[in-house]
Structure 1
């Protein structure tokens, strides 16, 4: 069993073949963090924890003047009884006090991984895949139990953590702060990395040194957001793509979050992630529990690439669920950038005719098919077909697609409501709002109040009827604004700061019902592109529209940054028209295809107006994509050249058995009189011979990895090339 309990030293050891995580109960009651990193057989706690009386660090144990919680590396620290650093949690009692003291009470070790009630989380398919430690701490004065749950996977360098508060006392308390995990490192010589951005520039990479004090990222928008992804990493100073220690943390949550790093004057570092405490209070009454979202913790001794490949495997196989998790995803055509709101049944059929000739397998009807939706000013909430545009309804158009050998998909934005809609006129109180105050619009819409049971019931019933009305095999679930006037129409005043989290819990419940009710539908999450690209949504929808920005050059940065955590199979990527709608850039069809092919390929352009040359390119690249899509989706990704560091970008995907690989190379701007350039590859078997692009020449894997693959001399901007490698035995 990969969790050991040493009764004599009061030490827990969570381990697998590559990773160890040690916890000690100091003085038999304070869970202290000893070590997390590369596998070690055992530790001597006395050699890890050193004690010294520090000025202004209160003595927690009077019998031991050298001991203070202010200097102890803790597993789930509090504030107010000796530790002045960032706490993992804070409770407020009825008398206004925020002082707690949770002391070790008991523990249990479980084979497998229990699910989290009401929340998405990583899972196991067999109980032998993982083991779980539940540490129970108790504040006897409040009568509250705190259950810290740790799960370690046997074959993945992953530990998951969460916390459950259980009220066994007699007086209600408020939870003001509750991180999903906190871990104290024994030095502060780190860099930290996060993914920042905005709409159309999501998940750009930023790496910087850890400085003294607190540095953090967060969202208070009601969604994980375009601005910051719920992911943060600590890196050793020498860490690169393939070398050095990296500790990556991702939160399985789609709402407001905070991740923070605090470096102390004594060169220790505290890392935590969880629900954003800003504008959050949860009233916990006797007999109730509160569960934090789950944190996914990945350690890599092989740099950022090793961390990413672990996250990719975990998210693809043990967070994403359903029949589509391991099934081929059809190449799609979405009509949005071609038609916007202005289309007819005839136009859609003509687009489908042209798409089927190219080999596209799925047609997605985007915004504008319902109500009186001729622009973005009306009809959200009125999920009835616009008979003027589609006289034969969704069923008629879907059946037409089937005759063409294509599947049919549909865009919806279920969480929203337009003030100009039948639903709003009937139920003006169904949106998030504050009575007597203005209702702030974004994209001319408001957000449904999912804290109301009648709204959730209506939504499930309405979408069930819609999804049953036609042979729909794909749904793009959009959310095009963030929360304002965050107030529930049904919660009492003392629970109003629960609104944002209750919204998310009820959204998860709606998605659980619908994805179970319609397992054949492939759901894709969207929030103005990548505004809710997080593990929480992937639990219900195994792919996400990566960004509304479809420009091939901009997408290099977006997809490269996204790959830090998320596998290619989860990224929706489309080939669109030029000049590009977002930046006006004109790039060749081949480069647009090659960028989108490095993820989940789709098209979003007027296929009827393609030139003969572009049609030929699309058909050739589609034929190639169908040969290598399994490599892209299920292979190990290696990032070779970063678009954040120059005009060249490259990445590759290698089959798990190393028999095949595909390399994508992109150059955005040509230079005069260029030097010769060789691109070193990674992940190949060094002793095997590989044939490239079905050529006659053969190259050993070690030659390709150490000396590299010769790149062509390039005399044009926006150049791209692919290389297919096949092992020869």
Structure 2
């Protein structure tokens, strides 16, 4: 059984594919965290030392009188604050008398096959109940009537445990939730490095590693989105851990709004790891009978370094987070007109780009910003989702039909969460944006944020987008979000609920996305937030791919795509070839290199193909042909990082099919070097007993040879160069 309960010592033993997680009910009904790591057959407690404090920290309750027992030194599963534990709490409530002390103790539990959906929130899922087993442990604070249900799911085929918490008011008086994190884990030591994915717009998900120190170290977002500054992911790495070796604990929050991930190292060198909704500027009023559901946390243990951790996340997210008809389909090669035309286009210029793109092998045309309202720049018309007849006199229906007749599918850009001050929607409903009464309404990119905490706003957006998607020939939607939240308040919430606005916004957004993606299952939705500002599992639940970054420069993308791969699979990454000089960093890179980098994700173009030379068009045509041959490996195979661009003048990665018979290896050199020595690239993940033929050279190598000795990297001339090998299993029976 994946989950077992042993009554004699009150132990829960959760077993995923190769992972164990162990909890015990200890004195007075508290939950003690015992173990998380490599799967073990059984667990005995006789060698464990009791947790003892010094004379200044040895709290005890007068009625229990258990000498030396203190919650301040007990490793716990969902700790409170002030009830002898003075470390960071997982939750905090305020009673009507103003007090904030609570005391959750074990009440009951149940174990069942399968996995429940989370109310109003995205989460991983099962298609058959046999795929997973779930443990629900119910805790209760007798004085307040607060009940907390801790939910743990273990997957049979993945080294994954998911967690969430549900807070329920079963008392007779109001409770105010001040803090409600999704998960808390206590480690018995602090011998870890903390890995995070940090950055900014156009340089998202940079790898940052630092040693744990005494006190708190955290990442967070207060921007109303998961943000490009910090991704809702952290990993604890043992000091000897690297890409292929050592223990790693990866933790990812399935949420797209404000979050906190915190590690507290106490005076005894223990580490408390917590993640969930950011308690900053948050509270939630719980009336009697109401509940509050926290987002899900995905927890991955790896005994073979970061690479195994990443591949576990990738497999789970591809199959049991992403949904819809495109989950298992090869994604189309697209061209987007944004960097080709920006706002300056006509119906005929768009069709001209589409015609040329079709000749080159492109499969989908995406019309970006500027097609609606009076939108000729970024100062106007967000919220007015009707066609701009000045640019498209025959309407979207005719344009989309014409694009289809050219032989391409048609996609469309929206920014449905925003409103322009100069728009019909704002003039009709000036209170529909997030705002605080009496305060000036700030603009970001000349726009404000619609108040998705209001059901009437969500209903209006659903109606407007549904009209566009049902009346035109649309196969793809790029869903953009180009500013963060400020003046976070809602005109319809009372004073006791104003700090609920940001989370209610996320619940409204998830509701809108759920309804639209369900209503239009054949549309491929791609999320975007000024590029990669909301690249998180919450968005992937509704939209199976994300525009990885607005920075399309090939050399910058080495870092961005490499960092993103730490958690998110390549099939979720939008990656395009753009013009040079690049519009973000003004670098000039070879077209071949731009293509090779972009082939590490969902491939496409973002430039004016009409302006390309005949030689460049031939290169593009070959790139598209090549990608069509390998995209099933890139999008559905296993990914291995070979050389980190964060640490070297070069970078390399590879994809291998699940049956290990097809391989794509990509190598990139940033700056040229004189008189370099022979360099070998060691591959990973191959079958050592299998022979592989390199398509480009027709040479045959053993899998063991390629992994242990390596393959020679050819000498590359000039800056910003690349080389790609494609390998296939060699059938010895064919001469």
Alignment TM class, shorter chain as reference: over 0.9
Q: Take 2:343 and 2:486, find their aligned partners in 1: how far apart are those partners?
A: 27
Distance 1:432 1:21 in 2: 42
Match of 1:177 in 2: 179
| Residue 622 of structure 1, CA deviation | 1.0
Q: Distance in 2 between matches of 1:695 and 1:711?
A: 13
Match of 1:279 among 266, 271, 281: 281
Which residue is 2:469 aligned to?
467
The match for 2:197 is: 195
Question: In 2, distance between residues paired with 1:49 and 1:166?
Answer: 35
Q: Deviations for 1:340-374, whole angstroms, at most 9, x for unmatched residues?
A: 00000010010001000000000000000011100
**Cα contact 2:16–2:160 (8 A) shared by 1:** no
User: Are the aligned partners of 2:696 and 2:725 in contact in 1 as well (CA < 8 Å)?
Assistant: no
Report whether the alignment pairs 1:543 with 2:574: no
Determine the structure 2 residue equivalent to 1:728: 730
Q: Out of 448-457 and 110-119, give the one that drifted further.
A: 448-457
More moved, 218-227 vs 263-272: 263-272
Say whether the 8 Å CA contact 1:224–1:532 is kept in structure 2: yes
Q: Quick check: 1:55 aligned with 2:78? A: no
**Residue of structure 1 in register with 2:670 after alignment:** 668
* Secondary structure of residue in 1 paired with 2:106: strand
Measured in 2, the distance between the counterparts of 1:238 and 1:708 equals 24
Instruction: Give the superposition deviation at 1:688.
Output: 0.9
- Secondary structure of the 2:396 match is helix
The farther-off stretch of 22-31 and 670-679 is 22-31
Structure 1 gap ranges (5+): none
Q: In 2, distance between residues paired with 1:307 and 1:161?
A: 17
CA displacement, residues 19-48 of structure 1 (integer Å, 9 cap, x when unaligned): 100000012611101000001111222423
| Structure 1 position 58, deviation (Å) | 4.1
Which segment is superposed worse, 597-606 or 695-704? 695-704
Distance 2:205 2:17 in 1: 32
Whole-angstrom CA distance in 2 between matches of 1:125 and 1:281: 35
The structure 2 residue matched to 1:515, chosen from 511, 517, 523, is 517
Contact 1:338 1:604 in 2 (8 A): yes
Are the equivalent residues in 1 in contact too, given 2:334–2:364 (CA < 8 A)? yes
Do the aligned residues in 2 keep the contact of 1:224 with 1:254 (CA within 8 Å)? yes
Q: Distance in 2 between matches of 1:492 and 1:175?
A: 16
1: CA distance, partners of 2:16 / 2:41: 10
Give the conservation status (yes or no) of the 8 Å contact 1:53–1:65: no
Pairing 1:299-314 to 2, within 5 Å after superposition: 299-314=301-316
Q: CA deviation digits over 1:656-712, x for unaligned, max 9?
A: 111111001000111011111000000000011110125432111111001111001
1:53 deviates by: 3.7
1:357 and 1:714 map into 2 onto residues whose CA distance is: 31
Deviation of residue 504 (structure 1)? 0.2
Of 515, 527, 548, the residue aligned with 1:525 is 527
Distance 2:148 2:97 in 1: 21
* Partner SS for 1:47: coil
Deviation per CA, 1:60-114: give whole Å up to 9, x if none.
3443212110110000111001111111011110101000001100000010011
Distance 1:436 1:64 in 2: 56
Q: 1:53 to 1:481 in 2, by over 3 A?
A: closer
Q: 1:267 Cα deviation (Å)?
A: 1.4
Deviations along 1:625-683, one digit per CA (max 9) or x if unpaired, are 11110111111100000010011000001111111110010001110111110000000
> Which residue in 2 is equivalent to 1:38?
38
The whole-number CA distance in structure 1 between the counterparts of 2:46 and 2:500 is: 43
Q: SS in structure 2 opposite 1:48?
A: coil
What is the aligned partner in structure 1 of residue 75 from structure 2?
Answer: 73
Equivalents in 2 of 1:464, 1:48: separation in Å?
Answer: 60
Whether the aligned pair in 2 keeps the contact of 1:12 and 1:24 (CA below 8 Å) is yes
2:109 counterpart of 1:107: yes
In the aligned structure 2, how far is the partner of 1:185 from the partner of 1:338?
52
For residues 126-149 of structure 1, give each alpha carbon's deviation from its aligned partner in whole angstroms, at most 9, with x where no partner exists: 000000000000111111211000
What count of residue pairs does the alignment treat as equivalent?
729
SS in 1 for 2:173: coil
Residue number among 613, 616, 640 corresponding to 2:615 in the alignment: 613
Inter-partner Cα distance in structure 2 for 1:278 and 1:536: 20
Give the TM-score of the pair, scaled to structure 2: 0.98
Q: Deviations over 1:398-434 (max 9, x none)?
A: 1111111110000000010000011111111111111
Distance of aligned partners of 1:429 and 1:45 in 2 relative to their CA distance in 1, 3 Å threshold? same
Q: Report the equivalent of 2:480.
A: 478
> Does the aligned pair in 2 maintain the 1:10–1:28 contact within 8 Å?
no
Describe the superposition over 1:284-338 as per-residue Cα deviations: whole angstroms up to 9, x where unpaired.
1101000000000000001000000000011111000000101111100000001
Partner secondary structure for residue 233 of structure 1: strand
User: What's the counterpart of residue 10 of structure 2?
Assistant: 10
Q: Map 1:158-557; keep pairs closer than 5 Å.
A: 158-557=160-559
Distance in 1 (CA, whole Å) between partners of 2:221 and 2:417 is 19
2:587 maps to 585
In the alignment, the residues of structure 1 paired with residue 114 and residue 222 of structure 2 have an alpha-carbon distance, to the nearest angstrom, of 34
Note the C-alpha offset of 1:185.
0.6
The aligned counterpart of 1:154 is 156
Q: How many angstroms apart in 2 are the aligned matches of 1:51 and 1:368?
A: 63
Alignment of structure 1 residues 564-713 onto 2, 5 Å:
564-693=566-695, 695-713=697-715
Q: Structure 2: how far apart are the matches of 1:464 and 1:424? A: 20
C-alpha deviation, 1:49, in angstroms: 4.6
Q: Distance in 2 between matches of 1:544 and 1:110?
A: 34
Q: Distance in 2 between matches of 1:262 and 1:625?
A: 46
- Work out the CA distance in 2 between the residues paired with 1:271 and 1:516: 36
| 1:124 correspondence with 2:130 | no
> Does structure 2 retain, via aligned residues, the 8 Å contact 1:443–1:481?
yes
Q: Show the counterpart of 1:27.
A: 27
Structure 1 position 229, deviation (Å)? 0.3
Match of 1:140 in 2: 142
Residue 16 of structure 1 and its aligned partner are, at CA, apart by 3.0
Question: What CA distance in whole angstroms lies between the structure 2 residues aligned with 1:358 and 1:28?
Answer: 71
Q: Which moved more, 1:561-570 or 1:685-694?
A: 685-694
CA distance in 2, matches of 1:499, 1:11: 40
Instruction: Name the CA distance, whole Å, in 2 between partners of 1:168 and 1:665.
Output: 59
Q: Is contact 2:16–2:161 with CA below 8 Å preserved after alignment? A: no
Distance across 2 between alignment mates of 1:76 and 1:431: 36
Deviations 1:228-274 (A, max 9, x none): 00000000001010110000000000000000001112111111100
2-side partners of 1:158 and 1:267: how far apart? Answer: 26
Deviation at 1:435, TM superposition (A): 1.8
| Structure 2 residue matching 1:171: 3-state secondary structure | coil
Please tell me the root mean square deviation across aligned C-alpha atoms, in Å: 0.9
Contact residue 591 and residue 719 of structure 1 kept, 8 A: yes
Counterparts of 2:728 and 2:465 in 1: how far apart (Å)? 46
Cα distance change of structure 1 residues 630 and 49 upon mapping to structure 2, 3 Å threshold: farther
Instruction: Measure how far apart 1:450 and its partner are.
Output: 1.1
The alpha carbon displacement at 1:616 in A equals: 1.1
8 Å Cα contact 2:199-2:229 kept in structure 1: yes
Structure 2 counterpart SS, 1:107: strand
CA contact (8 A) 2:122 2:538 kept: yes
